Structure 1
């Protein structure tokens, strides 16, 4: 570590001021990227679950893919978009743990006393989470391809699926951030995440078409953001689907992500007022 010697006469920089919002966001993003690289085992280990879902669960239930409800494409092709969205959902639910660590170590208090925008703090960390989720999503699609799934939608369809996954990740990362800042407790965050994530998975069309679900579950699945993302992903990867439905679902996901982001920023400001 180098030693910095303070000058005897203060240096005045009247023309200088706080960095711009994009610079602030970039610095926060860089800080979280460094943390991710140093703790890369976390994102890597989170890929074990989708591998199990695709290679094991997909094979166990392969025979039901012959049912007309699956469109004749096979169960694995149906399952991969669901596993893709499940992966970003599960990863997003843990996004707030970094804030819990920062609050415990005092880093958060230092950030909040610095001349930095509250939204830049949230956005910088969110961008890091989205980058990690994007890499994980690409790997999940690659695992699905190696497992036998094919994507007739081509490159454009893959991009559409990744867009839906990114919007879903943005929403749940922001919600996890808000919960972390409100509860300030790791156990509470983990508990609430489990309460939301597992029911959200089974109350959606992640693993079964709506036509094969009980009526009450199918009704809930219609309003489940996970279902919205899965439907867009399936339409994109299959290269077929109602364009109005796809863009409508993307609009709903974007609105959901925007509301979640606003909640995260409001929670950060509430935390600042309470310390």
Structure 2
């Protein structure tokens, strides 16, 4: 006669009753390091992330340069190239959303998130670490893109401090959008769906803005939408900080266009607050 017994469930590491902010940050940085090492092992991710913005720079500079009227500069192709770069920079940081969506969806599908659950770590650290890693990757891509833009004709005219402030606004916007990507990645069933879901809404967001053409050139009903677009505030804000606006340029009357740096920072902080809350809540429900 044999006696059988159920196998004991795998032991879990005890989770601290109360995780401090410092512990949560340490956990987030560990997860960020894991994702960065993974990115280094797959350099194609960074390379392909650079191809699209470089193509946009070249195509828009030489195909549309000289055919788009810039207030204060007319059809000057050199003025358009400097005008364009703020839009390309902002578009590049927001397109990191798709990478965040796909990465989190892949981790969910492969069960890596379940492994994190067994560790005594902050619940939100998995998402925060992922967004930190995506932000680091975005910063590298921005740096390379800025170097590539110099031969095309882009220059910074307002000094080092304003240049750093401009890139700071761009990275803040990019970080905000990675939280949107995190929520999308947690809401779909596959990395393929996450990639599509992370991109499909970005095209109207970036093109219905002042990224590539001034709002003055748009139909009367469309211009206010572009001017109140959070993306537009960042684009105009970095153009102003970089000194890429023509001397005779006058910003539209909409509040975000009159105060673009403040509007950009406020929009980004609100997006982070809203989507981080929803993403962490979604993550906790998904992982039990």
Normalized against structure 2, the TM-score is what? Answer: 0.82
Contact 2:131 2:179 in 1 (8 A): yes
Aligned-pair Cα RMSD in Å: 2.3
Equivalent in the alignment of 2:285: 270
Q: Tell which deviates more after alignment, 70-79 or 198-207.
A: 70-79
Q: How does 1:161-176 map to 2 (within 5 A)?
A: 161-176=166-181
Separation (CA, whole Å) in 1 of partners of 2:129 and 2:39? 13
Residues 219 and 67 of structure 1: CA distance in aligned 2, closer, same or farther (over 3 Å): closer
Equivalent in the alignment of 1:50: 53
Q: How does 1:44-123 map to 2 (within 5 A)?
A: 44-64=47-67, 67-70=70-73, 74-123=79-128
Contact 1:130 1:170 in 2 (8 A): yes
Note the alpha carbon deviations across 1:234-254, whole angstroms, 9 max, x for none: 111117788844223322222
Q: CA deviation at 1:65?
A: 5.5
Contact 2:234 2:261 in 1 (8 A): no
Q: CA deviation at 1:66?
A: 5.9
Separation (CA, whole Å) in 1 of partners of 2:279 and 2:210? 28
Structure 1 stretches lacking a partner, 5+ long = 1-16
Equivalent in the alignment of 1:261: 276
Q: CA deviation at 1:108?
A: 0.8
The structure whose residues are more often helix, as a share, is: 1
Equivalent in the alignment of 2:150: 145
Residues 239 and 222 of structure 1: CA distance in aligned 2, closer, same or farther (over 3 Å): closer
Q: How does 1:124-163 map to 2 (within 5 A)?
A: 124-163=129-168
Number of corresponding residues: 257
Contact 2:97 2:198 in 1 (8 A): no
Q: CA deviation at 1:67?
A: 4.2
Normalized against structure 1, the TM-score is what? Answer: 0.85
Separation (CA, whole Å) in 2 of partners of 1:199 and 1:190? 16
Contact 2:88 2:211 in 1 (8 A): yes
